[in-house]
Structure 1
Amino acid sequence: MTAIEVPDLCLVVLIGVSGSGKTTFARRLFRDTEVLSSDAFRGMVADDPADQSATGDAFAALFDVAGRRLRRGLLTVVDATSVRAEDRRALVELAKEHDVFAVAIVLDVPVTELVRRVAGRSDVDEGVVRRQHTLLKQARNLRKEGFRFVHTLTGVDDIDAAALVRTRVFNDRTDDHGPFDIIGDIHGCCDELCDLLVDLGWSPRRDVDGTVRGMDDHPAGRRVAFVGDLVDRGPDTAGVLRLVMAMVEAGQAICVRGNHEEKLLRALRQRRGSGRSRDSVTLSNGLAESIEQLDREPVEFIDEVMVFLDSLVSHYVFDDGQLVVAHAGLAERYHGRTSGRVRSLAMYGETTGGTDRWGFPVRVDWARDYRGRARVVYGHTPVPAAGWVNNTLCLDTGCVFGGRLTALRYPEMDLIDVAARQTYWAPERPMGYGESDADARVRAAVRLDDVTGKRRILTRYGPSVLVTEDHSATALEVMSRFAIDPRWLRYLPPTMSPVGSADPALLEDPQAAFDFYTDRGVTEVVCEQKHMGSRAVLVVTRDDDAARRAFGVIGGSGALYTRTGRSFFDPSTTAATLKQARAASRTLFDQLDCDWLILDAELLPWNIKGEGLIRDEFASVSAAAVPELAQLSAELDRAAERDLDVDALRAGAAQQRNDIDAFTDAYRRHVQVGATIDDVRIAPFEILACGNSDQSMTLETRSHQWHLERVNQLATADPSLFVPTAHRVVNTTDEMSRAEGVDWWRDIVARGGEGMVVKPSGNLVRDNKGRIVAPGIKVRGPDYLSIIYGPGYQRDLERLRSRDLTHKRSLALREYQLGREALARYTDRDPLWRIHECVFGVLALESEPTDTRL
């Protein structure tokens, strides 16, 4: 039996004369979907597999399908004769285009057997077979043609006995889940490497003279992944190599090749005389120092170094494809691919062809446009501090230049670093070049195709949410023209649905809200007084450094924005408000051990931002109705003096006037006349998320009582800015508790309040089918509803009570899912575009047609 090893991802080219059994061979060893047959494609385009006139169209279709399969990372087999060099050349180019290996499997059947097999066939005659066989014999060096692997099966028995063995490409370690300590560019800084490994929990093994020869196995079973550039510039390249090689040999570490390892290997080969002419390398950028240090070592050690460097691959894919380690980073389309292009990009990165003011190549900012799900960890270009950009992380923090040596603990995502003991090499370019606030804004920018078009957003909180193309366009208009700096925008709050009423005299009542949750298995709810204000999101940071680390904003302190992502106030007013909020939050920062908070809140008074609405929608009604009703009443009074029967009309006019007066009083109660910025108050009611440099978390599983106890501390700390949210807990299965809740609501609305919001006490809860229960429903009072539905709405209660709440509840739940998903993605350290996918989704859903009074 002949074992044919074929990588899981490659282009397999079957090469053989007509009648050699390629189709039978392919059917036996490969899946039907993997095999693209030229005969089958001729049949598709011409209804006749033997129609040679259709060959051009057939192969055009075959190449298109093959390219699409390879682009999706699927093994593809081409079943055609491929005995002509030009045909094979096109297939090798196809493999190169998609950065996969081309594998040739040659079926060499004796010509006499071939002639026997085609006897009687109408599409192939003996002359064709003999010409193809001659061409096959001329293909003597398929490796030189570009095939990475060549398997030749000679004779019928050899072909029939062949067995397929699928192998992984050398960079495929998807079954390796870690945990890893991924370490950035070392550049000969052996002491700092040992310091960092000790901080990571490793224990060094030393010789009697103190030289580190290796590490004991990590007590937690961790391994190290080195991103390359172990050598050059630093004081002890040999020491770094000795330690890394020992760890790799012991199975404690994995290493990818950096550009400095590539150049060192070429230089060593050049000195040995084993390198090719194109391997000539200039001893610059610290390479001369590495050679000098290695010259002090035994020749046997140099031999080991060369073998080690030669064994290093360009990149690895770990953890079911969720982690990629490459020295210079790698765009998603190259992950797990195998070609010279991929090798070069992984070691050197992609450049524009230009140079900067210091003479260095200008590199393509691939991380800015990265949209892959895999986390890419790399080095190569020093940065002042490691920070995630679109699911990518550069760990080269310039240790050899006097910076730090940094590691990422994976999957924990913790960053650990140690300071350089000294500056070993003067940087040729200032550290932090390209790290200005303007640069950060560019990198944080959302691409148009991230948020436009029809899309289905997957969330961990429920079914996927569909956003239509026209609603996406509306959201983009609002965001692009009016929204705050997108780096602050990690959440938009959902709309809220009202409740119905079991009381015929009310449009909304608390008992219906309690019944709603009882029916869904929620036995305890919290009732929060509804502030008559504007929904607000408050982002506050402990200091400017926390703003930089958590949100990527240099010189910022936080944000205060509306439910459509707009700033409430001008920059100077916002800055002053945030400074006050930061001071009031100190105790809360300490209690939660966090450096930043995102709070859901209401901004008061109503008219501080809603003055236009009040004037245009409410005051105008009163202004028009009062004189008209006064004139109508006067005319009816004169008619009565003439003994006309207008009593019913006079009573109706009086009732209308009473309704207008009640309507006017209702909205005026919520207007603070002459309010200025000094009268602004914030009423927070939930801590959506918080975090520090080590960890971040969302808090939807904490009870609403827990949230209110903490945010009400802000009102204690600074009552001039914050106000508390009154609340009470109701047991929905206890009649006395329910009655107390109703009485509390009646007291609120009797004093002119808007009403209350009823929420599951446990915050995010699910029913017995695992579905999220509505996170809150509002119960508004009669006076406030008169503002919404107009004067005299209570005379139309019978019709209004039949209003359909289904769509509003669905909308509220979908927006809630997206808002929570955005926060979860943020605390998971997902890239900004993934967070904004959900944020834009919330705003897009707001474009759905719905009754604005609900």
Structure 2
Amino acid sequence: MTSTSRTLPVTDLSLVVLMGASGSGKSTFARKHFKPTEIVSSDFCRGLVADDENDQSASRDAFDVLHYIAGKRLAAGRLTVVDATNVQPESRKQLVQLARQYDVLPIAVVLDLPEELCQARNASRPDRASMPRHVVQRHRRELRRSLRGLEREGFRKVHILRTEEEADTAEVVLERRYNDLRHLTGPFDIIGDIHGCSSELDTLLGKLGYKDGTHPEGRTAVFVGDLVDRGPDSPGVLRRVMSMVASGDALCVPGNHENKLGRYLKGRKVQHSHGLAETVEQLEREDAEHPEFRGQVAEFIDGLVSHYVLDGGKLVVCHAGLPEKYHGRTSGRVRSHALYGDTTGETDEFGLPVRYPWAEEYRGSAAVVYGHTPVPTASWVNNTLCLDTGAVFGGKMTALRWPEREIVDVPAERVWYEPVKPLTTEAPGGRDGRPLDLADVQGRRIVETRHMGRVAVREENAAAALEVMSRFAVDPRLLAYLPPTMAPTATSREEGFLEHPAEAFAQYRADGVTKVVCEEKHMGSRAVALVCRDAETARERFGTGNASDAAGGGGGPTGALYTRTGRPFLDDTALTEVVLGRLRTAVTAAGLWEEWNTDWVVLDAELMPWSLKAAGLLRSQYAAVGAAAGAALPVAGEALAAAAARGVDVGALAGRQRERAEDASAFTEAYRRYCWSTEGLDGVRLAPFQILAVQGRSLASVPHDEQLAWLDRLVEHDPTGLLQVTRRLVVDTGDEASVRSGIDWWLEMTGRGGEGMVVKPLGALVRDEKGRLVQPGIKVRGREYLRIIYGPEYTRPENLERLRSRFLGHKRSLALREYALGLEALDRLADGEPLWRIHEAVFAVLALESEPVDPRL
């Protein structure tokens, strides 16, 4: 770079408008400093619509195309460079309006080069050699008339290059937006509205662990604004916050009260209302001892940025809330919303503006933490959280620890300022946030998961899932998870077997998994249990019941027990509560509420007998087969016996009939093992095999040996006999003797009539050497159990050989996709995300179940 070079700062998300006469080198400059995809050229757009980049008659259509492409890029948050002459005010006006529409900065880069240079360049180009000289002269006249007024037109930065050397040596430098702090990952302590309550602020900072404004663990405080007005010591609050920001221990965004104070300090005419009078009086008392303080405050307020995007885009902090379309954007409209929010245009009975409930409609992936509108209690609404809990009005001063999502508060020392409106209203949308919407689950969906990236859901599958969810599912507020389907083991070539453990062990060995746990597969139906410590927990965390239940001491549901398609497992809600009560008693007696630091838990389990939920299936499908065989085969046998008595050679045929009768008898015996009589809960057994989630934590990745140890304690502390142990065996896939012991264990268990086992990586959530998810479990079903699935005569050699050509790829893919969605639902649940976000993943699991897969696999 030479001594005459210039640096041209360009905001990383902006609309860069190149200006200059024809031949000034705009296209060359654009290609040198920007990516080809970032440049939208008027010449190129003319070529698109007219097949001739120099056809001026196509200019109107070409600029329509240019504005459309530029708009799409800006909407997607991409830097966009417009390469056109842009010397006329009207053409620039449309571009400035486009930048405002998408809340980005318009930046002008002007190539005001000498006329003769432009003429010479045009003459050297075959496509422009015939361009009249007066065209360039007109371009330069129009450009010169515009130069002084570009900032008035709305351009936030104007770079003018006047010589060929300046244009050749200039260096474009991309700058982060002031609000883009995604590289800062915290941890953060976000503090709500303070309003001059300096004593409460000191108490809250102390509770958060700060000493003299610094946290020993390197945490950063983030203030959401409204530091001043109404309270007893606005200067003290400003001094503390300004010091922390200056030392790098804090960030701060402006509130509407700082904005008003800043205008007052600049000498603007403002009304001394809503607490400003108190702040002005306090500052006047400061002037005698600290005359410089007023200027420092003005400078501090003037430097505050409307909002910050933090932690890789996962967190947005502002004063009054911000819809997703404004995150990271820069415009007066964005700043206004961040400072004041939006209103409906109405006023309430207290004469205050009615706030537009933007949080009810929020669906963004970033958490938005804000203040501005006082609420009695900070509670999450659709991934947004209001931290203004009315400290100055005698409420609380509240902070959020991020990423822990832990709310910390301290009570106000007194009512410092009488509120116009009582602190009795709920946060926007109420405790539950906005309700689920059809748009959340309708049509083709793409769900972003942390462990497998994007998972697609077809529109037709979503429609089928919507039917099930809307007609048959439990209360959606309690439907936090659906278990995935399970992949079957590879088909065995072992004589007489369709499935065998050797293939499961070999697959995990190939995936690099050395330790697996073999878990007994229970003879029942999959059940998910959500158990709350009490009805109040269910109301507080999951929004069940209502205020009248609580006031009247009504119990309300304390959780849910449902099938893998979200249907209530037991038709009797009272019986469901008994099951949940027994589970709760066991968790309490085992001391697990305290160990997990939770008031609720989600478990994956098997509820037995199978006939408890599948009685209709047994009657219509399995019992009917057994009954038909019992009726037909004896008659056929008698007929063959009579034929043999007459001397007819029917030996081979009679032998086949005897084999068929034996197969039918084995079929009937196989399904009867899964059926026994129950009355109430007598005869019912529940075998939990995984703890899925508790308050603030997904436990799905906890190793299975730890999981089973917890569950053994549950069974041990169940005095009712409802809970049943899941037997298990750990196998080393690289040790031949260990593998043999696993196979023998399975043979012994299935030989006694057991269903089989599930082989899982001991470490639970595991990836292979290429970073891909490994199957979370592979089921290996017993020889006789598969007779129920494939029919009485499936073990005959000719049938077994045909069945061995089954296709497992789709089923395995389905199992992994559903597993990733299940993990995502649990993560969102543990993070306290809104119901619609959890249901996005839960619903997708149910939708994928509609994919066409052989149901016998």
TM-score (norm 1): 0.89
Q: Provide the C-alpha distance between the structure 2 equivalents of 1:724 and 1:422, rounded to a whole number of angstroms.
A: 55
Contact kept, 8 Å, 1:6 with 1:164, in 2: the verdict is yes
Query: Given that residues 396 and 412 in structure 2 are in contact (C-alpha distance below 8 angstroms), is that contact kept between their aligned partners in structure 1?
Result: yes
CA distance in 2, matches of 1:234, 1:553: 38
Q: Match of 2:107, as an amino acid? A: V
Which secondary structure does the structure 2 equivalent of 1:808 belong to? helix
2:480 aligned partner: 490
Structure 2 residue 427 is the aligned partner of structure 1 residue 423: no
Taking the aligned partners of 2:735 and 2:781, their CA distance within structure 1 comes to 22
Q: Of 213, 216, 236, which aligns to 1:219?
A: 216
| 1:144/1:523 CA distance change after superposition, 3 Å | closer
Structure 1 residues 478-498: Cα deviation after superposition (integer angstroms, max 9, x where no partner): 223333333433322222233
Contact map agreement 1:451 1:840 (CA 8 A) in 2: no
SS of the equivalent of 1:225 reads strand
Give the structure 2 partner of residue 209 of structure 1.
none
Partner of 2:552: none
Give 1:230 shift.
1.0
* Superimposed CA distance per residue, residues 724-746 of structure 1 (whole angstroms, 9 cap, x where no aligned partner): 22233345555665555445434
Q: Structure 2: how far apart are the matches of 1:748 and 1:429?
A: 69
Q: State the shift of 1:503 in Å.
A: 3.5
For residues 709-765 of structure 1, the C-alpha deviation after alignment (integer angstroms, 9 at most, x for no partner) is: 221322222234322222333455556655554454344334433232233334344
In structure 2, distance between residues paired with 1:288 and 1:342: 28
Partners of 1:445 and 1:176 in 2: CA distance: 33
- 2:550 maps to none
Counterpart position of 2:246: 249
How far residue 611 of structure 1 moved from its aligned partner, in angstroms, is: 1.0
Q: Alignment partner for residue 372 of structure 1, among 351, 364, 374? A: 364
Worse-superposed segment, 617-626 or 120-129: 120-129
- How many angstroms apart in 2 are the aligned matches of 1:344 and 1:759? 54
Q: Does 1:845 align with 2:842?
A: no
Residues 485/248 of structure 1: CA separation in 2 closer, same or farther (3 Å cut): same
Count of aligned residue pairs for this structure pair = 829
* Distance 1:632-1:165 versus aligned 2 partners, 3 A rule: closer
Question: Residue type of the partner of 1:89?
Answer: K
Task: Write out per-residue CA displacement over residues 215-243 of structure 1, whole angstroms, 9 at most, x where no aligned residue.
Answer: 4x433333322100112232222321222
Match of 1:185 in 2: 193
Q: Quick one: distance in 2 between partners of 1:446 and 1:316?
A: 29
2:47 is paired with a residue whose SS is: helix
Alpha-carbon deviation of 1:631? 3.6
Report deviation, 1:171. Answer: 2.3
Name the SS of the counterpart of 2:262 in structure 1.
helix
* Residue of 231, 244, 248 corresponding to 2:228: 231
Q: Which residue of 1 aligns with 2:151?
A: 143
In the other structure, the counterpart of 1:763 is 764
Inter-CA distance 678–232: structure 2 relative to 1 (3 Å threshold): farther
Change (3 A) 1:125 1:565: same
Mapped to 2, the partners of 1:104 and 1:745 lie a distance apart of 74
Deviation at 1:339, TM superposition (A): 1.1
Structure 1 residues 297 and 530: CA distance shift in structure 2, 3 A: same
The 8 Å contact of residues 222 and 250 in structure 2, kept in 1 or not, is answered as yes
The letter of the residue matching 1:819 is G
Structure 1 window deviating more from structure 2 (761-770 vs 40-49): it is 761-770
CA–CA separation in structure 2 for the residues paired with 1:23 and 1:777: 59
Deviations 1:306-341 (A, max 9, x none): 333233221122344343211112122212221110
TM-score norm. by structure 2 comes to 0.88
SS at match of 1:567: coil
* Cα pair 1:698 1:827 within 8 Å, conserved: no
Alpha carbons of structure 1 residues 673 and 267: separation in structure 2 relative to 1, 3 Å: same
Structure 1 gaps of 5+ residues are 205-214
For 2:661, the aligned partner's letter is: R
Structure 2: gaps spanning 5 or more residues = 546-555
1:131 and 2:138 are equivalent in the alignment: yes
After TM superposition, the structure 1 = structure 2 runs for residues 267-666 of structure 1, keeping only pairs within 5 Å, are 267-269=264-266, 274-275=267-268, 280-281=270-271, 283-298=272-287, 300=291, 301-431=293-423, 433-434=425-426, 439-443=430-434, 445=436, 448-449=439-440, 452-453=443-444, 455=446, 457-460=448-451, 462=452, 465-499=455-489, 500-544=491-535, 546-547=537-538, 550-551=541-542, 553=544, 556-570=557-571, 571-586=573-588, 587=590, 588-640=592-644, 642-666=646-670
Comparing 410-419 with 230-239, greater Cα deviation is found at 410-419
State the match for 1:210 in structure 2. Answer: none
Question: Aligned partners of 2:771, 2:37: CA distance in 1, in Å?
Answer: 38
Secondary structure in structure 2 of the residue aligned to 1:96: helix
Pairwise CA distance, 1:505: 2.6
Instruction: Please state whether the residue corresponding to 2:726 is helix, strand or coil.
Output: coil
Could you tell me which amino acid in structure 1 is paired with residue 470 of structure 2? S
Rounded Cα–Cα distance in structure 2 between residues aligned with 1:559 and 1:76: 52
- Contact 2:381–2:431 (CA under 8 A) maintained in structure 1: no
Measured in 2, the distance between the counterparts of 1:536 and 1:802 equals 32
Of 714-723 and 543-552, deviating more is: 543-552
Would the aligned equivalents of 1:822 and 1:838 in 2 still touch at CA under 8 Å? Answer: yes
2:321 and 2:369 in contact (8 A); partners too? yes
1:667-717 deviations in whole A, cap 9, x for unaligned? 2222123543554331101112233xxx42424242x33322221322222
Give the aligned partner of residue 71 of structure 2: 67
1:525, CA displacement in angstroms? 3.5
Shift in alpha-carbon separation, 1:357–1:533, aligned structure 2, 3 A: farther
- Identify the residue that residue 548 of structure 2 maps to in structure 1: none
Asked if the contact 1:118–1:126 (Cα under 8 Å) also holds between the matched residues in 2, the reply is no
Matched, 1:687 2:691: yes
Q: Is the alpha carbon distance of 1:630 and 1:166 closer, same or farther for their aligned partners in structure 2, counting shifts above 3 Å? A: closer
Is contact 1:452–1:476 with CA below 8 Å preserved after alignment? no
Q: Aligned-pair distance for 1:535?
A: 0.3
Tell me whether 1:47 sits opposite 2:36 in the alignment: no
For 1:38, which of 31, 36, 42 is the aligned residue? 42
Residues 192 and 420, structure 1, Cα contact 8 Å, conserved in 2:
yes
Q: Deviations over 1:538-594 (max 9, x none)?
A: 122234454456545566532212111222134444334323322221122234343
Q: Which residue of 2 aligns with 1:167?
A: 175
Could you tell me whether the CA contact under 8 Å between 2:366 and 2:383 is conserved in 1?
yes
Give the % identical residues: 54
Check conservation: 2:18, 2:26, Cα contact below 8 A.
Answer: yes
| Secondary structure of the structure 2 residue equivalent to 1:60 | helix
Is the Cα contact below 8 Å between 1:451 and 1:837 reproduced in 2?
no
State the AA in 1 paired with 2:324.
Answer: E
Alpha-carbon offset, residue 302 of structure 1: 3.4
Secondary structure at the aligned position of 2:434 is classed as: helix
CA positional deviation for 1:639: 4.1
Q: Show CA shifts across 1:129-153 (max 9, x none).
A: 3433333343242222222223344
* 2:30 equivalent to 1:26: yes
Cα 1:757–1:145 shift into 2, 3 Å: closer
Structure 1 residues 650 and 43, CA gap change in structure 2 (3 angstroms): closer
Moved more, 361-370 or 375-384: 361-370
RMSD over aligned CA atoms reads 3.1
Q: 1:724 maps to which residue? A: 725
Per-residue deviation, 1:25: 3.8
Q: Distance in 1 between matches of 2:24 and 2:255?
A: 46
| 1:412, distance to aligned residue in structure 2 (A) | 4.3
Matched, 1:15 2:22: no
Give me the whole-angstrom Cα distance separating, in 1, the residues matched to 2:772 and 2:117: 67
C-alpha separation in 2, matches of 1:177 and 1:760: 32
Structure 2 Cα separation of the partners of residues 817 and 308 of structure 1 = 47
Following TM superposition, by how much is the alpha carbon of 1:624 offset from its aligned partner in structure 2, in angstroms? 2.8
Cα 1:684/1:188, change in 2 over 3 Å? same
* Paired residue type of 2:241: V
Q: Secondary structure at the match of 2:784?
A: helix
| Secondary structure of the corresponding residue to residue 279 of structure 2 | helix
1:55-86 deviations in Å (ceiling 9; x for gaps)? 01111111111112222223322222222222
1:850 positional shift: 2.1
Asked whether the equivalents of residues 379 and 427 of structure 2 are also in contact (C-alpha less than 8 Å), the reply is no
